Structure 1
Amino acid sequence: MAKISFLDYGAGNVRSLRNAIAHLGYEPVDIRRPEDILQAERLVFPGVGAFGAAMQRLHELGYVEPLRAYLQADRPFFGICVAMQSLFEGSEESPGVAGLGVIPGVVQRFADAALAVPHMGWNGVRALRQSPLLDGQDPAAKFYFVHSYRAQRDAANSDWILAETDYGEPFVSAVQRGQVMAVQFHPEKSGAVGLELLRRFLAGEAARPGAGTAAGVPAPPMPPKPVAAAPTRFAKRIIACLDVRSNDAGDLVVTKGDQYDVREAGEVRNLGKPVDLARRYYQEGADEITFLNITAFRDFPLSDQPMLEVLRRTSENVFVPLTIGGGIRAFTDADGCAYSALDVASEYFRSGADKISIGSDAVDTVEAVRARGSGDGSSAIEQIAALYGNQAVVISVDPRRVYVASPESTERPVIETAIPGPNGERFCWFQCTVKGGREGRDVDAVELAQTCEALGAGEILLNSIDRDGTGSGFDLELIAAVRAAVRIPVIASSGAGCASHFTEVFRHTGVEAALAAGIFHRREVPIAAVKDQLRADGIEVRAS
């Protein structure tokens, strides 16, 4: 069995890829010195984070020149996401920072203003050439993407391009020459189809027979596909959310309540163990799993935070994206050790999280930005996005309706609502809350979403205090208002009671994803039933 060398340069969630490799029966060996790269039999480069941060770290570790030599010798290489982008000459994400320069071209930001950016979710790949890496895959298969910048095919690099994906326009989703290959998507987060693609590389099956040339002699391109495939289709995401807290006995449980009240007959409602439920949802076809920590584990040292173990264990068997929210802020533990929000986020990423969700702290940040007039780089949103990329930061918003008699009676932006207030009011605004909805702030949900986007957030998780636990459907007016105000993806949450509610929210608001908790926990509406309904209604979803 070939030795798998793992180029972990110290950024983001690489645990999931390690676990995927182990799941496939291989044991990755870390690259620890520059000379280890040239001694590798098969090299895996897990690209996580921003382009500039990744290249800076490669230079600091002395990896750039041996990595170039390894690639120029056409030795087995598999790069993921930013690792694929690093093969190009540079990226608009980090002007002035040179890439490895193996492939001609500069990676650019998605330009279509009508698109949500990052391109976040499940999409297909269209093979342009024959290659054992992709040949034989189900043409309807979808892989998980999360990126704001993309490479494009041109005359100078076309002999490298293995596959494209459509998102407003075609972009490069896989490259290969000889034994050097890379993909823009995350196979370790793409379920069974992603694991199969990764297995082909690890087993030495992904290179075209006869590949491998002398150092400095480029391998010939793969032959073109005889028939052009249909355009790829971007899928709407169905996300299972697990509210996790400790019960009165100190055990971690998944719970749920109406308007955030999680007690029943005096006890914390127990709907299962978080790791077990997450695995069940993965097997049932959830496109993502979100953990929300609703207990303040603040007496523990950072390394002993209970949710870290939940992430580590979940990522061993769940190969779709994992988001963790709750408590992503600076704190000091019982021993007097102080941790920044970036410290907390970094530990979550290293434990298996792909994205972190910031809630109440985002409201505080927006109030501070409003007072100053701009961001100053000090917020958790700015710091985490700068190091790990915009796609790593989700903003969780907990708004509630505040009804007013007329637009002139408040300084906040209002909508004319089809759902009148208790006194017949026809106007309302959406007030952000903190502390689980118990405290309102003078911040509108639209303002919060726009400000956080400007600071570097990559996604909005939009809850509703009014709809949570009601089963009456999503607050379409709230969701439409926020979706229209930002370019980043929006996840609709709170209020789902039946499968048709998911069709409603996708059709009427254009959001990229919808999330539910209680109806999935209690098996009232299976994830498969939601996807069947969406498919019947003509809405693209990933096959479960």
Structure 2
Amino acid sequence: MITLLDYGAGNVRSVINAVEKLGERVVVAGTGRDILNAEKLLFPGVGNFGSMMQILRHKRFVDPLLAFLKSGRPFLGICVGMQALFEGSEESPGEKGLGFFPGRVKRFDVDRAVPHIGWNGISVKQPTDLFFGLDGDEKFYFVHSYHVVADDPGVVLTTTDYGYPFVSAVQKGNLQGTQFHPEKSGASGLTLLENFIRKDRELAIPGKSPSQTRLAKRIIACLDVRANEQGDLVVTKGDQYDVREGGNVRNLGKPVELAGRYFEEGADEVTFLNITGFRDFPLEDMPMMRVLEETSRNVFVPLTIGGGIRDFTDKNGRTYTALEVAAAYFRSGADKISVGSDAVTIAEAYLRGGQKTGQSAIEQISCVYGNQAVVISIDPRRVYVDSPDQTTHPTVETTIPGPGGQRYCWFQCTVKGGREGRDMDAVTLARTCEELGAGEILLNCIDRDGTNTGFDIELINAVKGAVSIPVIASSGAGCEAHFAEVFERTDAESALAAGIFHRREVPIAAVKAYLKGKVEVRL
């Protein structure tokens, strides 16, 4: 039996599902006594270091945790659950960690996108049972802005490279921790969790463990979900955001089944966009919650959900914050939430006021769950001008002239599924949302959506050059070569597609096979 320390933040459902899939029963620790009585303790920390430590102290979990750690019984901390073992973190300078190991947690100081998001390798430094049965060249899923700096090199189990080598796992006796998320690392992650559960594996160092590791480019499957005429949730796909054909919503499959298929085919992440979310109250959208719950039982890669993540007032006059809405999605199985149209409204208010309020959905959610949990979905279209002087928005000199031969354009943000344009450009929106605490940009393109003509390279370069957080390229992919093009001509960390995957025109495995040897991918 595995005891899981759930302190109330983030997606622990996937950890529970992974352990149960391996045939083990999970008991959630609700009291300090539950921690003290545990045979094996699993601590999946999620989100902000300071928020986590405050909750642990409020629940009076700190002393029982320290007593359990000193007992020598098996312990596995995941992500912030591993960071908690150290003395403190730059993320929350005023909050002390458990201090079980000497050292601190520091923010990445690299000339790369932060957070470090994606599939990276590990270099194993000491014998361990965690990696029994693995080759050592596997990749695991990381999503973090801060990393451990251990004062005692003897506790370092693995390192990973991201601009420089950092501690990606620790071990001392039966006490182990990983910065990466095994519950989101596919078959390799499940093997690691099984090794922790069984604890009867032999100690070994994988023979192929690399001296250096490389972050893989991610291939993401996107599922636009909405109700059809019969009231069933279906996966659909638009042509320049029009999802109807012959008056009916295109039905390309069931969300849970398609997500499972993409996991088996090697998708690095799965994104659900509830494209009716801006009209509906998401906490009453139980079918979408069930989609997440069912998907997370068998899909062990990151899940992102978008649609309706904002403040709501229900018909009875009760107000729900965006943080409460996001929390419901996280508890249903989401790892990240995506804010779309409401991000434009938030950015407009911030630019008018000139200062942060701490009350926007982006600020609230990133404060509790960390900026890596907040994705901004941008839906721009091109607006052509004869000269940069004709607009106050940042322009690009384009190789794709406008209908009147115009040589310049800017990228106008839209809301409500592309039906309404705003006086806000994609570059400004991305930069502003990063300032407010967002950790990733999902960059769509109305002009390319459903065209199969390739990603808008000029748009991607314009936005990527304005931010220091990861960018997901979206819209326009029609063949394997388009994925190679976007990774070779831009610095985008990920590429997303929908229709070509749904219709099996371009399988995910074919994309990765084509990319092998051209860019780093997880196979």
TM-score normalised over the length of structure 2: 0.98
From the superposition, tell whether residues 312 and 422 of structure 1 become closer, same or farther in structure 2 (CA, over 3 Å).
Answer: same
The C-alpha deviation readout for 1:366-418, integer Å capped at 9, x for no partner, is 11011001221110000000000000000000001111111111111111111
* Residue 121 (structure 1) aligns with: 118
Answer yes or no: is the 8 Å Cα contact 1:129–1:225 preserved in 2.
no
From the superposition, tell whether residues 278 and 227 of structure 1 become closer, same or farther in structure 2 (CA, over 3 Å).
Answer: closer
1:192 and 2:192 correspond: no
From the superposition, tell whether residues 46 and 541 of structure 1 become closer, same or farther in structure 2 (CA, over 3 Å).
Answer: same
* Residue 217 (structure 1) aligns with: none
Q: Distance in 1 between matches of 2:439 and 2:253?
A: 30
The one of 256, 260, 270 equivalent to 1:289 is 270
- Aligned residue for 1:159, secondary structure, equals helix
* Residue 352 (structure 2) aligns with: 371
* Residue 272 (structure 1) aligns with: 253
Query: How big is the shift at 1:138?
Result: 1.8
- Aligned pairs (5 A) from 1:294-373: 294-296=275-277, 302=283, 304-373=285-354
Structure 1 runs of 4+ with >6 Å offset = 223-228
The one of 148, 152, 157 equivalent to 1:157 is 152
* Residue 525 (structure 1) aligns with: 506
- Aligned pairs (5 A) from 1:126-275: 126-153=123-150, 156-205=151-200, 229-275=210-256
- Aligned residue for 1:198, secondary structure, equals helix
Q: Distance in 1 between matches of 2:205 and 2:17?
A: 34
1:32 and 2:30 correspond: yes
Q: Distance in 1 between matches of 2:185 and 2:325?
A: 26
Q: Distance in 2 between matches of 1:257 and 1:446?
A: 24
Answer yes or no: is the 8 Å Cα contact 1:301–1:337 preserved in 2.
no
Answer yes or no: is the 8 Å Cα contact 2:137–2:210 preserved in 1.
no
* Residue 502 (structure 1) aligns with: 483
Query: How big is the shift at 1:230?
Result: 2.7
TM-score normalised over the length of structure 1: 0.94
Query: How big is the shift at 1:66?
Result: 1.1
Answer yes or no: is the 8 Å Cα contact 1:7–1:43 preserved in 2.
yes
Residue identity in the other structure for 2:263? Y
Answer yes or no: is the 8 Å Cα contact 2:235–2:255 preserved in 1.
yes
* Residue 23 (structure 1) aligns with: 21
* Residue 82 (structure 2) aligns with: 84
The C-alpha deviation readout for 1:34-53, integer Å capped at 9, x for no partner, is 11111100000011111001
Answer yes or no: is the 8 Å Cα contact 1:152–1:170 preserved in 2.
no
The C-alpha deviation readout for 1:491-517, integer Å capped at 9, x for no partner, is 000000000000010111111000000
* Residue 384 (structure 2) aligns with: 403
Residue identity in the other structure for 2:44? P
* Residue 3 (structure 2) aligns with: 5
Query: How big is the shift at 1:338?
Result: 2.5
* Residue 60 (structure 1) aligns with: 58
* Residue 214 (structure 1) aligns with: none
Residue identity in the other structure for 1:288? E
* Residue 219 (structure 1) aligns with: none
- Aligned residue for 2:504, secondary structure, equals coil
* Residue 73 (structure 1) aligns with: 71
Q: Distance in 2 between matches of 1:206 and 1:405?
A: 68
Answer yes or no: is the 8 Å Cα contact 1:299–1:333 preserved in 2.
no
From the superposition, tell whether residues 19 and 403 of structure 1 become closer, same or farther in structure 2 (CA, over 3 Å).
Answer: same
Answer yes or no: is the 8 Å Cα contact 2:131–2:206 preserved in 1.
no
Identity %: 65
Residue identity in the other structure for 1:147? H
Answer yes or no: is the 8 Å Cα contact 1:133–1:207 preserved in 2.
no
Q: Distance in 2 between matches of 1:38 and 1:206?
A: 25
Query: How big is the shift at 1:297?
Result: 7.8
Answer yes or no: is the 8 Å Cα contact 1:133–1:205 preserved in 2.
no
Query: How big is the shift at 1:224?
Result: 8.6
Query: How big is the shift at 1:136?
Result: 4.0
From the superposition, tell whether residues 445 and 226 of structure 1 become closer, same or farther in structure 2 (CA, over 3 Å).
Answer: closer
Query: How big is the shift at 1:292?
Result: 0.3
Query: How big is the shift at 1:280?
Result: 0.4
- Aligned residue for 1:152, secondary structure, equals strand
The C-alpha deviation readout for 1:250-303, integer Å capped at 9, x for no partner, is 000000010111111111110000000000000000000000001248666725
Query: How big is the shift at 1:72?
Result: 1.6
Residue identity in the other structure for 1:199? E
Answer yes or no: is the 8 Å Cα contact 1:298–1:331 preserved in 2.
no
Unaligned runs of 5+ in 1: 209-222
Answer yes or no: is the 8 Å Cα contact 1:301–1:334 preserved in 2.
no
Query: How big is the shift at 1:126?
Result: 0.5
Query: How big is the shift at 1:206?
Result: 5.7
The C-alpha deviation readout for 1:3-32, integer Å capped at 9, x for no partner, is 211100000100000100110101111111
Aligned residues: 523
